[in-house]
Structure 1
């Protein structure tokens, strides 16, 4: 009888020891030396043709590299992740190649409605705006909402009125016009007319699904440990009736917690349904898991193939750039001299 009790005790002890070992191994996976700073950016994900002329590919990579340089300069000199994220996204918003700010797509009615969001993970402060029409750099308005308002989100006319309180650069709708976006809008209207489609914008044609999504975003962690996510977009071509995508929805397309900052790009409705940003953070916290494991879980197990791309940085400066699409305009840099700009897998 005593031998039996002793055996049971040994077995229980072995199980507990094994569980502790597994737990310690999981913790080791996420334990790395903190980098002084790290920065990751994206300029949209989707089916990006590899048949693009070399000159076009080079131009995109040069622009991504310049955007990285904007943030690097701030972070190298001890600046904040907040400033780095805002200034990188300002650069991308001012670049007509990307679907944010100057290069925003056309709505069904032939206008431009812009969304943006910013969040600081350490404090969970956040600011988002949706449906603005006259703000040159929406990410800057999102930051002002975060820092100056007791509210988190302003929409449409309300966001415009809130912008009136500050010395933000304002533009008319003509500023956002680009020829390639205009042609894409005309093609979308023609398809809609041919198909006699009265469905919502999420019922996309195969041709529309092949288009890259041009949302821009940046995530960063600085020397002080501040961790920030920001995203800006013109939305989806031919979007209708006040449609709001994932970008300004905290926890979906933009999210930062005390462990990770995430910015998404892709099919907004799918990203929202998965509460993607928060899903990554929760997976890291409660699994526990590394940023790579959490990002792959979202893209491979939660979302469907072709839905999205994701960038992220954890509190130690570990980065993630992943997608279940063919490509994503992206780049990353850190204090240890690692630097990358890429488009395809």
Structure 2
């Protein structure tokens, strides 16, 4: 399913898109209680991020605010409510990226940080590194003063049941249905800066220290003020092989810059004198919402052709926003400065 939204180039506007995972989300397969709980969680996350943006806050702060809500909600596979590894433990991955300077931070296989997205941001802002993992990430978290919890805080009886169900089937390496997905957010602030963040417990029954695409900059998370912000969910191995998040951003940037350069050349040929502001306006309007969505869909199709499945959310510095998913459903939501706000689960919404 693909849903572009109208573009906006106003530098005073802001927008926010979130997801809570994609998978076999179909009417009749999800209980009314779970449906309502997930929608309420998405709405709270939108409210938290929107509050930051409407007050003039930064895109990266809005992304963090939205993801914190989702990490604390057991309906989603991140923070409290994360899925179990095959050995019955919980290992947490997260990443953030600020499109302003392409600063990024990520953690993989963390075990005790109550909100992994805060640890990813600490790595970005308070360390010389981009990615920390395992015991090192845990030590850095504790030394940074982040709230620490016992590993069993993240689990729930339902997640344990899902692990036992998966083991009983013995049909593969892990939960190939990917029913319990990652969370993420992308935001564009009133200054036109974009940011992205992703957080996950991974796949039910993952083994051998498996790490998916979520904490890998360029695979499941990417943000660049020159093009786009992306957060992904789904079959991480395939998102990694395609480099989905970076590939989308690169194709958008290259097409927008080429189009803007062509338009500038044509204008100068006709005698117009273009200053830097005029060139910036050309870049901001170079691509339509449909053209951006076509790029997103093309990269997703490449991932699917390799055998993958999942979804992404995106938005550009110029106001295009939307999502694409290749599963029956995806927990998702959008909000913007024009007052529009929505949440959805199924493919027909």
Higher Cα Rg, which structure: 1
Q: Give CA-to-partner distance per residue, 1:148-170, whole Å, 9 cap, x none.
A: 11110001011111112212110
Q: How far off its partner does 1:34 sit?
A: 4.1
User: Which ranges in structure 1 are unaligned for 5 or more consecutive residues?
Assistant: 1-28
1:124-163 paired onto structure 2 within 5 Å = 124-163=102-141
Residue aligning to 1:254 = 221
Question: Which residue of 168, 176, 181 maps to 1:190?
Answer: 168
CA pair 92-302 structure 1, distance change in 2 beyond 3 A? same
TM-score (norm 2): 0.83
Deviation beyond 4 Å, 4+ runs, structure 1: none
How far does residue 217 in structure 1 lie from its aligned partner after superposition? 0.2
Q: 2:227 matched to 1:243?
A: no
User: Would the aligned equivalents of 2:7 and 2:319 in 1 still touch at CA under 8 Å?
Assistant: no
TM-score, structure 1 as length reference: 0.84
Question: How far did residue 31 of structure 1 move?
Answer: 8.1
Question: Helix, strand or coil for the counterpart of 2:143?
Answer: coil
Instruction: Name the residue aligned to 2:15.
Output: 38
Work out the CA distance in 2 between the residues paired with 1:108 and 1:125: 33
The alignment status of 1:50 with 2:27, answered yes or no, reads: yes
1:309 paired with 2:311, answer yes
- Alpha-carbon separation, structure 2, partners of 1:80 and 1:338: 19
Does the residue aligned with 1:110 lie in a helix, a strand or coil? coil
Contact 2:59 2:193 (8 Å CA) reproduced? yes
CA distance in structure 2 between the aligned counterparts of 1:218 and 1:136, rounded to whole angstroms: 18
Measure, in 2, the Cα distance between the counterparts of 1:179 and 1:269: 27
| Partner SS for 1:336 | coil
Identify the residue that residue 265 of structure 1 maps to in structure 2: 233
1:117 touches 1:230 (CA, 8 Å); kept in 2? yes
What is the correspondence of 1:1-345 to structure 2 with a 5 Å cutoff? Answer: 32-34=9-11, 36-51=13-28, 52-192=30-170, 201=173, 208-258=175-225, 259-288=227-256, 290-304=291-305, 307-345=309-347
**1:43 and 1:236 mapped to 2: Cα distance?**
14
* Count of matched residue pairs: 306
Return the offset for 1:297.
1.4
Q: Provide the alpha-carbon RMSD of the alignment.
A: 1.8
Cα deviation for residue 177 of structure 1 reads 1.7
